[in-house]
Structure 1
Amino acid sequence: MIPKIGIKLTFVIAFLFSFPMFGQEQKYNGDPDSSFERARELAFNKQRKQAQDTLLSILTKYPNYHEIRSFLATTYSWDGEYKKARKEFATIFEKDTKNKSIWEAGIKNELWGDMPYPALEMTTEALKNFPNDPEILYLKASAQEKTNNQLEALNTIELILTQNPNDQKAKDYKISLNNALSQNAIGITSSVDIYSDVFDPMQYYALTYRRQTKYGSIIGRVNFNRRFNENGLQYEVDLYPKIAKGLYAYVNIGLSKSFLFPDVRYGLEIYKSLPKSFEVSIGLRSLKYSTTTNIYTGSLGWYTGNSYLAFRPYITPGETGTSKSGTFTYRKYRSDADNYLGVSLSVGFSPEINQFNINEDTAKFVDLKSQRINLGYYFTSTNKQNAWGTQFGVSHQEIIFDQGNYFWIYSVALSWELKFK
């Protein structure tokens, strides 16, 4: 009996000791270069998991094949697994610091992972091995910009251009940095409305100063208007304070002593970013003449590719009823937010949209019919310091004192802005 138990026990012990051998990962056995090429094909065809399995398998036999480990880390970066990628790059740098392409990949991983300070430290180490290398310097400038040191980034880009004045990527980046550092701007706007009947042409001019701060932008504006053979001035301030990530506000206050403008104008609106590149807002505008007109508004906007679409309604209670109007806007952007072609369509009368067609005597009449189309083209100089805009609009509007009859309004506007540090 005992011998039989001993035999069984021996068999069980032998099985248990042999079990880990069955569970051990099989060593890679094949051509690493061919497998690497196959893994690259899988990765570029969005079969990332299969590619990573292949790369890990190769590394079990060739742990110092650094190009394979670097590519594995890069695929982790593509998948947003920046910590896993960082670990693989660190393994390489323990043994090899002379491969420039691996340094570049490692630095990009930190930048993509929103870790600009480690990226900046890595560029310092990389430049010890590759002094004044333009690609490493470019990544250093990117890290400096992400740490809010645009001026240092500009100096780094200048170093690249000192060595190679024709480096187009560096030249474009220099323009972008100069634009970011230009936190001040002055501008002039001029427009005229020409009426098919009743009124003489009406003129509008504005002188604007804008300052960008870390808390948001501040815009001061002096408006001059000539209507009804009278001249008037209005002083305005716009604020766009940042509240939190994806949340900001619009605040406006305007003052005037001319009957061509409201005595006091103010506005408040809250904007919130949503998933899928949507943005919503809700707000109020108020115009105070002898009585006060309140305008309730909001917006729904959507950024898709290089396009922007938005709809904004206006609801204005008045003595003759409640006015309901709205504007649809479409913009097609080119190189940046200052270069675009825009079109807007408006239906209904609102003191916000038609603010220069009303005064104290007519502000209370808001339940009017109106249709408007406006085309605009905005562009900048090569260095982005100068920005120009042109607009042309056509309105078909009910006459305030002769409702049921209409006139046409043809509008032309030109604008110019200069950015400076």
Structure 2
Amino acid sequence: MISKIVIKLICIWTFLLAFEMSGQEKKYNGDPDASFEIARNLAFNKQRKQAQDTLLSILTKYPDYHEIRSFLATTYSWDEEYKKARKEFAYVLERDPKNKSTWIAAIKNESSANMPFAALEMTNEALKKFPDDAEILYLKASAQENTNNPIEALNTVQFILDKNPDDKKARDYKVSLNKILSQNSIGINSTVDLYSDVFDPMQYHTFKYGRQTKYGSIIAKVNFNRRFKENGLQYEVDLYPKISKGFYAYVNVGLSNSFLFPDVRFGAELYKSLPKSFEVSLGFRTLMYSTTTTIYTGSVGWYYGNSYWSFRPYITPGGTGTSSSGTIAYRKYRSDADNYLGLSLGIGFSPETNQFNFNQNEASIINLKSQKINLGYYFSSSNKQNAWGTQFAVTHQEIIFDPGKYFWIYSLNLSWEIRFK
């Protein structure tokens, strides 16, 4: 019995010794610079797996050899393993935040991964450490273009050229931006609402003209509404003036002589960018029929990689109390801000998005119960001159004249916009 136990212990000891020796054999023991050169040659000769094994082996003994770790991350990016690359770049930047070449490689990794918002955020962080650096500014302009901000991209490129007019790369990029930059746009937006009960189908159509200026954008709209077998027009202007960097406003004015719209509507909102890719806003909307209704609103938005989350509440004071509603929205961007999938969930009734005449039933209308889900898909042409969108929404809403009972509303929206100089 004892002999069997001894034999078992010898076997276990032999196994552990073999395992230890195997581990020792894998431990790196050589000249890191010479091995790094070999790894680079392997990587550039399309033998990246062997190169990565060599680099990882060196890092077992020299984990803070940052140049090796950055090159390892770069090879991951070449192989479209962007998450693995991001992890290695983050390791280096955390310990060596003044490593410019790693910042540049890390930004390029985010761009290659189709994460332009993340790339833009990284360029802003890098510029705090390397102010006015032309190479990082160029990457910032590229990220701005990819987030559908060509005017901001052009401003960034012009800043580079103001510092160095002979920068050929920047000059060529400016030519490219001018070709694709369209400061004017014309668009059509059409919505049809189908009701499960009570009402006939309703239509809402918008024709708009927009122009981008250095002070912000301006959009003029003509809205056509067909409801209750009646037609109505509304004339509207939206302004988005720039106030300062990361700070802009929204101003709206609308006029109509149809009971289907407010006689006058106006509103304003201030938007402010915050650290960590957050944005907040605060404003109001006023609708003037024979009585006046003011809705207070705001928003909290957050960009995370190529995703965007937002929450917008509506607070409507009334003579019999205050009504509230809100919407949570999510967008998943693809190549740029014109190409994304959207989902929103809403609860409560808001006069801002449901314009009714408040002559007699203001209290009952603004306190209507309602739930809504909206799915949207938006895409553009390859030259970015045309943009299309489609939305489908389902609303479960309390009937105005029969509280406690509900109907369903099925909404289909189609939009098209063309941009030109």
TM-score of Structure 1 vs Structure 2, range by shorter chain: 0.5 to 0.7
Return the letter of the residue paired with 2:158. Answer: N
| 2:130 aligned to which of 94, 102, 113 | 113
Within the alignment, does 1:235 sit opposite 2:235 as a pair?
A: yes
Code of the residue aligned with 1:333 in structure 2: it is: Y
Deviations 1:48-70 (A, max 9, x none): 9954799xxxxxxxxxxxxxxxx
Match in the other structure for 2:383? 383
* Residue 206 (structure 2) aligns with: 206
CA distance in 1, matches of 2:312, 2:234: 25
Q: Residues 80 and 50 from structure 1, CA distance in 2 versus in 1: closer, same or farther, beyond 3 angstroms? A: closer
Aligned-residue RMSD, C-alpha: 4.1
| Per-residue deviation, 1:31 | 9.5
CA distance in structure 2 between the aligned counterparts of 1:343 and 1:232, rounded to whole angstroms: 30
Identify the residue that residue 156 of structure 1 maps to in structure 2.
Answer: 172
Map of 2:15 onto structure 1:
none
Q: C-alpha separation between the residues in 1 aligned to 2:357 and 2:277?
A: 36
1:244 offset after TM fit, Å?
A: 1.5
* Matched residue, 1:405: 405
Which residue does the alignment assign to 2:6? none
C-alpha contact (below 8 Å) 2:246/2:273 kept by paired residues? yes
AA at the equivalent of 2:157: T
* Alpha-carbon separation, structure 1, partners of 2:60 and 2:156: 29
Unaligned ranges ≥5, structure 2:
1-30, 41-53, 69-91, 103-125, 138-151, 162-167
Could you list the per-position Cα deviations for residues 6-45 of structure 1 after superposition, in whole angstroms to 9, with x for gaps in the alignment? xxxxxxxxxxxxxxxxxxxxxxxx9975687899969x97
Q: Percent same amino acid among aligned pairs?
A: 61
Letter in 2 for 1:402: D
Q: What's the offset of the Cα at 1:83?
A: 9.5
What is the rounded CA distance, in whole Å, between the counterparts of 2:337 and 2:60 in structure 1?
Answer: 32
Could you say which residue in structure 2 is the equivalent of 1:347?
347
| Structure 1 residue runs without a partner (length 5+) | 1-29, 55-74, 86-108, 121-141, 160-173
Is the 1:183–1:419 Cα contact (8 Å) retained in structure 2? yes
How far residue 110 of structure 1 moved from its aligned partner, in angstroms, is 9.2
Residue 226 in 1 paired to residue 236 in 2? no
Report what 1:185 is aligned to: 185
* Alpha-carbon distance change, 340 to 361 in structure 1, aligned in 2, over 3 angstroms: farther
Shift of 1:230: 1.1
The residue type equivalent to 1:301 in the other structure is G
What displacement does 1:405 show?
1.3
Q: TM-score, normalised by structure 1?
A: 0.64
Q: Which residue identity does 1:226 align to in structure 2? A: R
Aligned-partner residue type, residue 273 of structure 1: S
Separation of aligned partners in 2, 1:322 and 1:46: 64
Structure 1 contact 300–312 (Cα < 8 Å) conserved: yes
C-alpha distance in 1 between matches for 2:100 and 2:411: 57
Greater relative contact order structure (CA < 8 Å, 6+ sep): 2
| Aligned residues of 2:98 and 2:129 also touching (Cα < 8 A) | no
C-alpha separation in 2, matches of 1:184 and 1:143? 17
Contact 1:321–1:367 (CA under 8 A) maintained in structure 2: no
Counterpart position of 1:252: 252
Q: Is the 8 A contact 1:235 1:254 kept in 2?
A: yes
The alignment's TM-score, normalised by the length of structure 2, stands at 0.64
- Secondary structure of 2:158's counterpart equals coil
Q: Residue 146 of structure 1: CA displacement?
A: 2.5
Change in 2 beyond 3 A, CA 1:143/1:345: closer
> In the aligned structure 1, how far is the partner of 2:419 from the partner of 2:60?
44
Contact 2:254 2:264 in 1 (8 A): yes
- Partner residue, 2:50: none
Matches within 5 A, 1:20-99: 33=34, 51=65, 81=98
Q: Does the CA-based 8 Å contact 1:351-1:363 persist in structure 2? A: no
How far apart are the structure 2 equivalents of 1:257 and 1:387? 32
Aligned partner letter, 1:148 = Q
Aligned pair count?
Answer: 312
Per-residue CA deviations over 1:72-115 (Å, capped at 9, x if unaligned) read xxx99x95548999xxxxxxxxxxxxxxxxxxxxxxx9999352
What letter corresponds to residue 113 of structure 1 in structure 2?
F
Amino acid in the other structure paired with 2:338? D
Larger Rg: 1
